[in-house]
Chain A
Amino acid sequence: MKKILMAFALFATLGLNAQSKYESAMQNGLSKMKESKTPDEMSAVASFFERVGDAEKTQWLPYYYAARNYTIAAFMNPASDKDKVAEKVNELITKAEAIENNNAEIFCLKQQVAVMQLVVDPMSRWQSYGAIAAEAIAKAKAIDPNNPRPYLLEGQYLMNVPEAFGGGKSVAKKLFEKSVELFGNFKPASVLHPSWGKEQAEQLLAACQ
């Protein structure tokens, strides 16, 4: 009995350790992500997720969060080389897509990278990057019509476009409303899956009132 219990205890300890290694690392990463304030901290979290992704090889979420954090870090740091970051992020997106094909969240990432690159030189880039961004959002909506994030991102983009050209607050407002409505029923597939954006959508909607 003793031996059995001992073996069980050992097994449980090691087994528990092994099973939760990925999940606890991800949880750890997600909480660090919440605490990050500076671009450097965001990049550090991103590189952590990238290492997890490279070690795991079959999980797309680490790559997703790595890409997302690199993108946010670049947006936060005006001095960053956005094209260089985009190259990195696109590499991570490719890795994520190799594991998880046709995912709305990944298409959302694609839109964010394209917008990031567009902002570098809007005059000469709107044609190419604007089209990539629009296409990515359309794809995300088609894959997962109940996902609130494509509407949020689209609204965010159009909010900065003047009314005369099909943008502006009133257009963005409708998209934020739709996003908030979808957030009401949205349940992430797991605690590790993307769930961000609800507060942001509400704030932006309030800003449009």
Chain B
Amino acid sequence: MFYQMNKMKAILIFIAGMMLAGLLKAQVLVKGTVKDNKGRILAGANIAIKDSYDGTMSDSTGSFSFKTTEKGNTLLVASNIGYKTMELPVVLETDSVVISFILKEEINELKAVIITAGSYEASDKKKGTVLKALDIATTAGANADISATIQTLPGAQKVGEQEGLFIRGGSAEEAKIIIDGTVVNNFFYSSVPGISQRGRFSPFLFSGTVFSSGGYSALYGQALSSVLSLESLDIPEKSELQVGLSPLFATVGLQQVANNKKSSYGFSYNWTNLAVYQKLVPQAPDFFKVPDFHTADMNYRFKTKKNGVFKIYAYYNSGTLGVRNPSLDSIGLWNAFSLKNQNLFTNLSFRQFLGNGWKINIAASVSYNKDEILTQVQNQQYQAVPITNISVIDQTGFSLNANQWMLQGRVVVDKRFGAINTIRFGAEVWNNADSSRFQSMNGLFPSSVNDFYKAGFAEADLYITNELAFRPGVRIEHSSLLNKMNVAPRAALSYKLGKNSQVTVDYGIFYQTPERRYLINQPPVNFLRADHYILTYQHISSSYTFRVQAFYKDYLSLLKTSNSFPTTVSNNGLGYAKGVELFWRDKKTFKNFDYWISYSYLDTKRDYNNYTALVQPTFAATHSGSVVLKKFWVKNMFGVNWSYNWSTGRPYFNPNRSPKDFLVDRTIGYSSNNFSLNWLPKIGKANAVVVLGVNNVFNERQIFGYNYSGRLRDTNGDLIRSEINPPADRSFFLGIFLSWGVDRSQQNINNNL
């Protein structure tokens, strides 16, 4: 009984104890609101009593409430991604406590406004990318040529008879192309009169492409219009062997990645010969020497400790071609042009993190180009004609041997500070040495010119808030050839309007040394100069990109050549370009269907070189645009691509006009529809990519300009002319690429997940 009593008591005490414990935990109601420093409601913020389990999340109105058994002096913690965590002291004793939090935003890379500096950036490092290697390979009409794809973006003009980037009323010389920090002097295959040439480099060499149509960073210079910056791949994912076959070329390449993925090397060889192609697709000009090119390249890359990367790339190409057209100066004669070219480009780059937010980029490059050009007037038997004493005919024949050496070195140092602010500064030196021998009936003209160019630059990315960023920059340059110095300030101000939209204002002064060939034995001239003013609105989300840009470019100094002989040059040229550009790209609305549309309006005039008035230059069209469509069927691994490019007519020189009507004539508008398909089957163990492309599907008539006779006249007394057309109305591409060892098509599936 006693025992029972005790047991009862024990149970009672136990219950009492439980109740006591419960009593001690009398609850307090904690409630309040969470907002940011701009008064915006923050939903989903975490609220907790420090070091306890009690708390809650704020609801969609930014308010919260929860009950707690904690007592006394405690801290209430509010946290939310993108905001600084805040702790407030609270005393928990009465029935309820009301607390309001005002959280401060953290400056954050994902959230912050993007400093665009007017560029189209394409890498997977940042959001809102526009063009990637695969995009370039699958753009109909571009034939996997980087610059041809860039011509489908606003601001870039298609000029059918000449290679190069013609940006916003700028000539091809005003754009620089950069690989891993160093300038590529001969990015395109050497010029052939009337026939636009491709770029030398495959888009698959590069992981990032930044195309700036103006207002570019102070890190670059010597381009009045634009900079295209290409960043090569680091270590590839896997080793692979690649073989490519086509009626146009054969290629073989090997890429070997070390097991630890810390280093890789590779080389490739390509032989391009158009003999078969030109038999299948007749060409208008007579290619008496079929274009024949040999290309070899190699690379070596390794990772250093602390995530640094060291890369060497070397490229060598040699090629020959010969082409002839009927002479306009004498019926029955031919004008023949032949070219032998050798080109070398090497680049060495190294980047290393030094800790504490410091990073260093070092780059060096050696490049060499040799052109041997021979033009000849030939008779019906394709023999060189002797002196005719008709000067326009006799002066057509000449030979030119031109050598160009370029050495470059560059160092850029980055320092990150604060949340995401960055300061960059550095210096570069270039040495250009050109020599040439020009031989014509007037004699032999050897020449050589050497320029030692030095530049120092600095810029900073300053994020004042997540919404507002400022990028001031300055570049100081000196050219030994001009013996002049310049100071070029640049600035960009970006303001974020909404989650995905922002406006940017860019300003900058851009200098460029005149083309060296004009500076031989000339009185001193100064740098050429253009000032850029750009206003951009853009809306970029993962599904679409919309961009409007308005720009004004003031050419304050261009090179002007005198009409007298010998020619003298001055800085008296000038001009302007202004316009509006639109770009729309949508990858999401239709499944596995990607398209972009671009439109450019350009109003530009210039008086430069031998122009006799301030006029619209031959390489500028007033309106131009592109529509690019890509549809991919994942199940069949099959893609169909279409592109449509058009522009209004461009001015051409007509010697039948009086001199005051200089460049008043316009060619017909340009229009081209292009089609390509790509199929990615598995052939044995190899992943294959089969590409078929047809350019100018509808055989549209394309006239890029006219060549005029120097002496023959028609019945109206006008000098006769011939059209400058593409070598064939329609052009074709067929190629099969096989790769072993790596799942190349992995790219495609993942693209279409």
Contact of B21 among A17, A25, A124, A128 (CB under 8 A): A17
Given contacts A51-B53, A166-B743, contact A13 B750 (CB under 8 A): no
Taking the closest CB of chain A, its distance from the CB of B687, in whole angstroms, is 8
Q: How far apart are the CA atoms of A44 and B751 in the complex, in Å?
A: 34
Residues in chain A near residue B747, CB distance under 8 A = 126
B743 contacts across to A, CB distance below 8 A: 165-166
Q: Is the CB of A122 within 8 A of B127?
A: no
Whether B14 pairs with A87 at a CB distance below 8 angstroms is no
Establish whether residues A55 and B53, one from each chain, have CB atoms under 8 Å apart when the complex forms.
Answer: yes
With an 8 A cutoff between CB atoms, is B635 at the interface?
Answer: yes
CA distance A109 to B57 in the complex (A): 23
Q: Mark A154-197, 1 if CB is under 8 A from B, else 0.
A: 00000011101111000000000000000000000000000000
On whether the beta carbons of B746 and A166 are closer than 8 Å, the reply is: yes
Query: Given A2-B6, A43-B44, A165-B748, do A13 and B21 touch, yes or no (CB 8 Å)?
Result: yes
**A4-12, A99-107, A143-151, A199-207 - interface stretch:** A4-12
Q: List residues of chain A with CB within 8 A of the CB of B749.
A: 161-162, 164-165, 167
Q: Please, how many angstroms separate the alpha-carbon atoms of A154 and B56 in the complex?
A: 34
Per-position 1/0 for B536-568, Cβ under 8 A of A: 000000100000000000000000000000000
A8 nearest CB neighbor, chain B only? B10
CB distance from B716 to the nearest CB of A (A): 58
Contact of B56 among A44, A91, A118, A160 (CB under 8 A): A44
Q: A5-B9, A9-B13, A55-B52 given as contacts; is B542 within 8 A of A121 (CB)?
A: yes
Q: Which residues of B contact A12 (CB under 8 A)?
A: 14
Task: Give A167 to B749 CA distance when docked, in angstroms.
Answer: 9
A127 proximal to B (CB < 8 A): yes
- Check if A75 is an interface residue, CB within 8 A of chain B: no
Cα-based distance from A55 to B635 in the complex (angstroms): 50
- Does B127 contact A121, Cβ atoms closer than 8 Å? yes
Q: Give the CA-CA distance A44 to B46 in the complex, in Å.
A: 9
Number of CB contacts from chain A to chain B under 8 A: 117
Q: Is A97 an interface residue (CB 8 A)?
A: no
Specify which of A48, A52, A164 is in contact with B637 (CB 8 Å cutoff).
A164
**Contact at A122–B110, with CB atoms within 8 Å?**
no
Q: Which of A84-124 contact B (CB under 8 A)?
A: 84-85, 87-88, 91, 118-124
Distance, CA A91 to CA B594, complexed state (A): 35
Say whether A165 contacts B745, CB under 8 Å.
yes
- Contact for A25 among B48, B53, B751, CB less than 8 A: B53
Instruction: Tell me if A84 and B57 are in contact (CB < 8 A).
Output: no
> How many A residues have CB within 8 A of the partner chain?
47
The answer to whether the Cβ of B280 comes within 8 Å of any Cβ in the partner chain is no
Q: Which of A9, A124, A166 contacts B14 (CB 8 A)?
A: A9
A201: min CB distance to chain B, Å: 22
User: A122 contacts B750, CB within 8 Å?
Assistant: yes
Tell me which residues across on chain A come within 8 A of B594, comparing CB atoms: 123
Asked, given contacts A2-B9, A51-B55, A127-B124, whether A9 binds B17 with beta carbons under 8 Å apart, the answer is yes
Known interface pairs A160-B753, A164-B681, A165-B748; A51-B54 also in contact (CB < 8 Å): yes
Contact B13 A10, beta carbon cutoff 8 Å: yes
Q: Given that A55-B53, A165-B749 are known contacts, is A47 also in contact with B9, CB under 8 Å in the complex? A: no
Q: Mark B175-196, 1 if CB is under 8 A from A, else 0.
A: 0000000000000000000000
Q: Is A1 an interface residue (CB 8 A)?
A: yes
Inter-chain CA distance A44–B47, complex, in Å, is: 11
Within 8 A of B (CB), among A1-54: 1-2, 5-6, 9-10, 12-14, 17, 21, 25, 43-44, 47-48, 50-52, 54
B residues contacting the other copy or chain, number (CB 8 A): 47
* Interface residue B82 (Cβ < 8 Å from any Cβ of A): yes
A14 is contacted by which of B17, B681, B748 (Cβ under 8 Å)?
B17
Tell me whether A6 and B53 are in contact (CB under 8 A): no
In contact, B13 and A122 (Cβ under 8 angstroms): no
Residue interface mask B625-647, A partner, CB < 8 A = 1 = 00000000011010000000000
In the docked arrangement, what's the CA distance between A94 and B749, Å?
A: 31
Give the distance to chain B from A112, nearest Cβ to Cβ, in Å. 15
Q: Mark B40-53, 1 if CB is under 8 A from A, else 0.
A: 00001010101111
Interface pair A43/B57, CB less than 8 Å apart: yes
Complex interface: chain B residues within 8 A of A142 (CB): none
Question: Which residues of chain A come closer than 8 Å to B50, judged between CB atoms?
Answer: 54-55
A51 touches B48 (CB 8 A): yes
Would A126 and B753 count as touching, CB distance under 8 A? yes
Cα–Cα distance between A17 and B21 once the two chains are bound (Å): 9
What is the distance, in angstroms, from A139's C-beta to the closest C-beta of chain B? 14
What are the interface flags for B91-135 relative to A under an 8 Å C-beta threshold, 1 for contact and 0 otherwise? 000000000000000000010000000000000100101001000
Contact A84 B82 (CB under 8 A): yes
CB distance from A156 to the nearest CB of B (A): 13
Contact B753 A6 (CB under 8 A): no
Q: B23-63: which have CB < 8 Å to A? A: 44, 46, 48, 50-57
- A118 to chain B: which residues have CB within 8 Å? 750, 753
**B587 at interface (Cβ–Cβ under 8 A)?**
yes
B700 within 8 A of A: no
In the complex, what residues of B have CB within 8 A of residue A121's CB? Answer: 127, 542
Query: Given the complex, which residues of A lie within 8 Å of B77, measured CB to CB?
Result: 54
Nearest chain B CB to A21's CB is how many angstroms away?
A: 8
Shortest A111–chain B CB gap in Å is: 15
* Interfacial chain A residues near B634, Cβ < 8 Å: 162
Q: Is B484 an interface residue (CB 8 A)?
A: no
- Give chain B nearest CB distance to A36 CB in angstroms: 13
Task: List the B residue with the shortest CB-CB distance to A13.
Answer: B17
B377 at the interface (CB under 8 A from A): no
Contact of B752 with A122 in the complex, beta carbons under 8 Å: yes
Given contacts A43-B44, A51-B55, A165-B743, contact A13 B18 (CB under 8 A): yes
Asked whether B680 lies within 8 Å of A164 as measured between CB atoms, the reply is: yes
B331 at the A interface (CB under 8 A): no
Report if B682 contacts A (CB, 8 A). Answer: yes
* A44 B635 Cβ-Cβ under 8 A: no
Complexed CA–CA distance, A162 and B127 (Å)? 26
7 closest A-B pairs by CB: A126-B750, A13-B17, A121-B542, A122-B753, A9-B14, A165-B749, A51-B48
Residues of A within 8 A of B (CB): 1-2, 5-6, 9-10, 12-14, 17, 21, 25, 43-44, 47-48, 50-52, 54-55, 83-85, 87-88, 91, 118-128, 130-131, 160-162, 164-167
27 A-B contact pairs sorted by A residue (CB < 8 Å)? A2-B6, A9-B13, A10-B17, A12-B14, A17-B21, A47-B57, A51-B54, A118-B750, A121-B542, A122-B750, A123-B594, A124-B129, A126-B746, A126-B751, A127-B124, A128-B124, A131-B237, A161-B753, A162-B637, A164-B637, A164-B681, A165-B637, A165-B743, A165-B745, A165-B746, A165-B748, A165-B749
Further contacts, 14 of them, CB under 8 A, given A85-B81, A126-B753: A2-B6, A13-B21, A14-B17, A43-B44, A51-B48, A52-B53, A84-B82, A121-B127, A122-B752, A123-B587, A130-B750, A161-B753, A164-B681, A165-B637
